[in-house]
Amino acid sequence: MKSYDWMVEYTPQTAWVEGHGVLIWLAEVSGVIGGGLYLVALYLESIAGMLTGLMMVVVLKGAFHLAHLGQPSRFWRLFLKPGRSWLARGLLCVALFMVFATLQLIFSYWFAANGADPFFKVSSGILALFVIAYSGFVMNYVRGIPFWNSALLPLLFIAFGILGGLALMLLIGPAALRSASVSATPYSLCVTACLLALYVCSAPYVGPAAKRSVKDLIQGDLALPFWIGVVLCGVVLPAVIMLYMYLASQTPMPLMMATAFGILVGAFSFTYCLLKAGLYRPLAPISTH
């Protein structure tokens, strides 16, 4: 690419998904799925699930973000600008989530009858929702990439987060909780698929750059990870397996594992495609003739 091409051509976003930026992709996926697992486990009252979700957010997401920073020792300075920086808001939210979720786990395990337990459940649940949706808010804030400028984006992250949380519960939960997750997964899968279809179908109306992003996603360089990773593995395969288990009135562990792995592949692929498809609009208008 010539030094001036960004002024007259669509320029791919690479800072968050290529090279060192892969750490950002992994951090966002960890936060989305970890927060989703915490929410699902909170509803199902699974201490192990809540602890695993908390660790995914604090340890995995935190480690990937710190590894991406040029000078990790200075990350604390982000706390100083929560009113002007989405990075600061995200860090503050993760810190509050860590505190409230930890207290909630303590009260649920040792002081279940204490009156403070509902307060910490509600507080940690709200913070977990923000942790999941945070990536959508940040990406929506980048006005130079029209493909990300949609109010559906935070909702889409929440949908994939809860779906990913249900998938992990199928893998790590006891039999009773796996059964509850199997019952909830088809509804979550349907909502996620509808939001995804609505997002992709509405994006071209945002502008030419977003229309080009959708074209890359559907029939361009990103077609393989989108159709195979997101659509086939993340939506179609779990839907077919769920339908079979419903008709057969059976929930064998191998099929539940296949469903969970398919959904997780879909979540990773969705975030990758979303980041990779981002195109900066050029400064000079591009002729359509």
Pairwise CA distance, residues 36 & 166, whole Å: 8
Q: What is the pLDDT of residues 21-58, one digit of tens each?
A: 899 999 999 999 999 999 999 999 899 999 999 999 99
> Per-residue pLDDT averaged across 5-13, rounded?
70
Q: What is the pLDDT of residues 204-254, one digit of tens each?
A: 999 999 999 999 999 999 999 999 999 999 999 999 999 999 999 888 999
The C-alpha atoms of residue 246 and residue 101 are separated, in whole angstroms, by 35
Maximum distance among all alpha carbons in the chain?
A: 70
- DSSP-derived secondary structure for 28-55: HHHHHHHHHHHHHHHHHT-HHHHHHHHH
Which CATH code, of 2.40.240.10, 3.10.110.10, 3.20.140.10, 1.20.1630.10, is assigned to 13-280?
Answer: 1.20.1630.10
Tell me how far apart the alpha carbons of residues 97 and 35 are, in angstroms, rounded to a whole number: 10
The two tokens of residue 49 are 């699930």
Distance CA 226, CA 257 (A): 22
List, for residues 56-93, the tens digit of each pLDDT value: 999 999 889 888 776 655 665 665 666 566 677 778 88
- Whole-model pTM: value is 0.90
Q: Structural domain boundaries of the chain? A: 13-280
78-87, long-range: CB within 8 Å, 24+ apart, which pairs? 86/134, 86/137, 86/138, 86/141, 87/138
CA atoms within 13 A on the CB side of 265: 20
